[in-house]
Structure 1
């Protein structure tokens, strides 16, 4: 059975149902999602990043370096195998020999020959692999030796399980052909490309005290069984169930049709909660909605209390986007309010901080209310980001100071603070010492002050949302609509590329205006949502207990 399919490293990180559909010959004609332009762009950016890193390292190592020419798989595998047999110190763009016994296939950005003569894999990725902290096992580029790695005093590893599982996959392939180093270590070069982060794949770093290799082996065996059953027409080992991955899966239209026809319970409760309910016979939204919310839960739920789950199912049946848990929703209000929304470009930086200043009681704060933007239009990454961030923070700091001087209360709002907090803190660290940039302690104090309000947390605590809690889902219930029909985070990535001329074309001022309009609508959306939650109009939203 194993010889009938050969999986690459991505299979172990993917949904089991996607693995089935990828290998089911009868699924070929099924509906699929249209290509995601943002995903395609990220993939193109990743390819360009790898090429840049490869060229830099090739120049560093000269005759010790071999780049396997681009081409068909057979040709690349032949050159790669010859280089492995010859003991070439550094092999770039290698196609590993097919592991027919283990049913594995794969290629690797870089193979590094270790001191024992075996090889260790190194992958190049376009995301950050470390965070500020300490303890990351790293070597500065161009040192490509895991034996020389030492704990880094200013970096800690960022959790990127997909990277580690990919390294495990490549290590098993090298072992299958006798080319692996005895030290089961793999490296990752991230977006900054300043260090190699080394992972000990045999260390007990996963929950339960097992290693990356052990986690990989278990996942791979499962995905191989799923793929083999699909390829040979046996009963499917994986059924559709809605999870977070579905949002960007090409097979979602196929699975969505099946789930909608079944009124599957995962349409309202995702992941492990849906599995737990199916395990006790609750397969559909209707079955969940019919349960007594005051009774005992039929299964242990982790996503929400059982009564809320029943109410959510009933809301979904009625087509209600949200229902209230309480009569009135507590929202922190102030004399002076600022709605904040940040726009970033992947891992490259935050290029725009948009703010909407309002004074609900009409107090005079010494500057006009309304929207303002603090932006850099130099392509990221750029040190000009420090200037725009410093201007944003200086304006916010000054506004808070004037409120304190005049005895006025102040509050700032965002929607889902995770992104804003990340770039607030990261910007303070990355640009420390530059004019106007606050130190990290000042930013951290603001975040924890109680005057930085996450409206996503308010919605999550006091509402049940049958179709998601994203701002684009919730704000329309408050009567807000975006001016741009294509408004969305993924599309904004494409607009940004044009706005700054990342693809070699002249910068497009029209796309800059589009981004500013989109950002302005985002902060207006949070303002409208907050006002709505504090208004009599909220009474039109049913209470969960009334369903």
Structure 2
């Protein structure tokens, strides 16, 4: 998101220049959002809270606490804790005091807000560089920082000893890079930065520290900070443009209204695609819809032809457009719809199924209500696999065709394979080769792929976007992946007693998801050609 209507620029630049302070998150955020956040704090304070953002914050806090406990258990007398009580200024004072006293390991560090340079920030960990002096900032994040591979520099979790790791490669996270550079510059202002110019990040797995070489980051960081400070001070104008961040941005309703009023091209070609089009003097949806000739040479990703169709569909108010005159989806005598529910990366706690054999349908969940990760997940997965295999064998024995369906199979494939690996040898758990054979077979059908292949989708391809066009609706108005995370926490009692009502809610949500794929598949086989315009008709 890049912003909203023409907003008044502050007329107090000089006084603001010393008042604006930014956290590192602003450096990877939408540029106009930085302006809005800095100059309209009263509106930001009363903006509705995004439930997904809140859940991510809660999950990140839990992860940080898990890491803290592990580190403190390993060195119970080796840590200085900056307690979270008190003002930020008092916590910053205690942090500086600990640093000047030569504390080896500091948890919960708060660095002094610096109006002169426009910075404020916190570091989960400061490690004293015993060889060179100064401190190394280490952040704790709730996402992956490495992938299997080689070449990353890592350190063990309990002792700072950086070395090239032949089992891991870096997973690029610009937000992490900007944050550790931000913290390094703040330490540098107080003469507390290690001359080694390195920083660390402990990721989701919590099994190592990824080492960042700040020499490769600081130039980009300094440029980004200077740019965002000028924006926040109202000295650099910004304009609206839709990007991925808009979905969770508190300013999006305001911005969308402005973009709709101007019929901005980013509504149908968001992100970098809109920038490419603007460079070619295509600023509106009408301009893109009228495009003739070859695609732009610098078109970044996706089909340019689809972008033109989406623009025309937007003008025609068409929710979908058929690519072909006829629509096809693989069907079978016995059909099973499958939808899996997981809790972050901790485990897959529910495998929901809908058996369709003849005119009748039967929903059957395979679930564990022990908080994941749990050994009971092996039991529920094994029962699911045994049931699915029985349906396949029964159909084959009766000479009937069989197919299992899901929507966007990447998550189901991931947890099918992961479960087989993690629980290998447990009762009823299939061999990995057996699972691979199933997901590679023609019996495993991805309805998402069928939709992608045969429709242009102006409003997105998510199940919650597409299934209502086929006539399906969820019983729960709040149904969604992020909402289900909060329901799950309550269902299994992560913060108190387990809530049976939330278990029912999750099961109904999962049931509605599997029914949605059934409804969508039947609609594609029957009515889609009547309901949806053909691309050549636009």
- TM-score normalized by structure 1? 0.87
Name the residue aligned to 1:541.
532
Structure 1 match to 2:247 = 247
Q: Per-residue deviation at 1:378?
A: 1.1
Q: Deviations over 1:486-506 (max 9, x none)?
A: 22222212222222122213x
CA contact (8 A) 2:181 2:214 kept: no
TM superposition shift of 1:325? 0.8
Q: Which residue pairs with 1:429 in the alignment?
A: 421
Whole-angstrom distance in 1 between the partners of 2:114 and 2:506: 48
Superposed displacement of residue 159, structure 1: 4.7
SS of the aligned residue for 1:62 comes to coil
Distance 2:417 2:172 in 1: 18
Deviates more, 1:443-452 or 1:244-253: 443-452
The CA deviation string for residues 351-405 of structure 1, in whole angstroms up to 9 with x for no partner, is 1111112236x7xxxxx85211110111222221121112112222333344444
Q: Which residue of 1 aligns with 2:349?
A: 351
Q: Which of residues 24, 32, 48 is equivalent to 2:62? A: 48
Q: Which residue of structure 1 aligns with residue 127 of structure 2? A: 112
Stretches of structure 2 that go unaligned for 5 or more consecutive residues are 1-13
Equivalent pair of 2:155/2:208 in contact (CA under 8 Å): yes
| Structure 2 CA distance for aligned equivalents of residues 256 and 146 of structure 1 | 49
Alpha-carbon distance in 1 for matches of 2:45, 2:296: 35
Structure 1 Cα separation of the partners of residues 277 and 307 of structure 2: 11
* Aligned position for 1:8: 23
Q: Is the 8 A contact 1:164 1:201 kept in 2?
A: no
Residue 220 to residue 382, structure 1, CA distance change in 2 (3 Å): farther
Tell me how far 1:334 sits from its aligned partner.
2.4
CA positional deviation for 1:537: 4.3
Structure 1 segment 506-517 matched on structure 2, within 5 A: 507-517=498-508
In structure 2, C-alpha distance between the alignment counterparts of 1:38 and 1:382, rounded to whole Å: 24
1:64-75 to structure 2, matched below 5 A, reads 64-70=78-84, 71-75=86-90
Q: Match of 1:474?
A: 466
User: Is 1:121 aligned to 2:134, yes or no?
Assistant: no
Q: Within 5 A, what are the aligned runs for 1:447-486?
A: 447-486=439-478
Confirm or deny: 8 A CA contact 1:187 1:196 kept in the other structure: no
**Partner in structure 2 of residue 174 of structure 1:** 187
Q: Which residue of 2 aligns with 1:284?
A: 284
CA drift at 1:268: 1.0
Deviations 1:442-480 (A, max 9, x none): 333332334322222221222111212111111111111
Equivalence map 1:435-446=2 (5 Å): 435-446=427-438
* Counterpart secondary structure, 2:67: helix
Question: Does residue 20 of structure 2 align to residue 20 of structure 1?
Answer: no
* Contact 1:146 1:185 (8 Å CA) reproduced: no
| Alpha-carbon distance in structure 2 between the residues aligned to 1:52 and 1:322 | 45
Partner residue, 1:207: none
Distance 1:159 1:338 in 2: 39
Q: Measure, in 2, the Cα distance between the counterparts of 1:75 and 1:44.
A: 24
Aligned to 1:36: 50
How far apart, CA to CA, are the structure 2 residues paired with 1:158 and 1:335?
44
> Which has the higher mean CA deviation after the structures are superposed, 264-273 or 448-457?
448-457
1:76-115: CA deviation from partner (whole Å, max 9, x where unpaired):
1111112222221001111124455643321100111123
RMSD: 2.7
1:92 maps onto 2:107 in alignment: yes
* Aligned counterpart in structure 2 of residue 229 of structure 1, from 216, 228, 231: 231
Equivalent in the alignment of 1:198? 210
1:421-443 deviation digits (Å, cap 9, x = unpaired): 22222222333332222343433
Q: Classify the secondary structure of the residue corresponding to 1:46.
A: helix
Query: Matched residue of 1:382: which SS?
Result: coil
Q: Which residue of 2 aligns with 1:400?
A: 392
Q: Give the distance between the partners of 1:133 and 1:409, measured in 2 at CA.
A: 41
Alignment partners' CA distance in 2, 1:546 and 1:32: 46
Shift of 1:181: 2.6
Q: Secondary structure in 1 aligned to 2:123?
A: strand
In structure 2, the residue corresponding to 1:96 is in which secondary structure?
Answer: strand
- Specify the SS of the correspondent of 1:436: coil
Q: CA separation in 2, counterparts of 1:331 and 1:350?
A: 28
Tell me: CA distance 1:436–1:159, structure 2 relative to 1, closer, same or farther (3 Å).
farther
Matched residue, 1:163: 176
Whole-angstrom distance in 1 between the partners of 2:391 and 2:171: 35
Distance 1:159 1:432 in 2: 32
Whether contact under 8 Å (1:31, 1:251) holds in the other structure is no
1:302-350 Cα deviation digits (max 9, x unpaired): 3443332222112112221111010112322223222111111222221
Structure-to-structure mapping, 1:336-415, within 5 angstroms: 336-359=334-357, 369-415=361-407
Contact 1:12–1:220 (CA<8 Å) still a contact in 2?
A: no
SS in 1 for 2:195: coil
Q: Is the 8 A contact 2:490 2:496 kept in 1?
A: no
CA offsets per residue over residues 228-274 of structure 1, 9 Å max, x none? 2342x3341x3221111111111212211211111111111111111
- Tell me if the contact between 2:155 and 2:211 (Cα under 8 Å) persists in the aligned partners: no
Cα distance between partner residues in 2 of 1:347 and 1:482: 25
**1:521 lines up with 2:536 in the alignment:** no
Counterpart CA distance in 2 for 1:160 and 1:340 is: 33
Distance in 1, Cα, partners of 2:463 & 2:119:
42
Contact 1:32 1:252 in 2 (8 A): no
State the distance in 2 between where 1:33 and 1:444 align.
47
Maintained 8 Å contact 1:146/1:198: no
What CA deviation, in whole Å up to 9, does each residue of 1:8-64 have, x standing for no partner? 121122122211212234x74489751023422331332233234324423432343
Distance in 2, matches of 1:101 and 1:182, equals 23
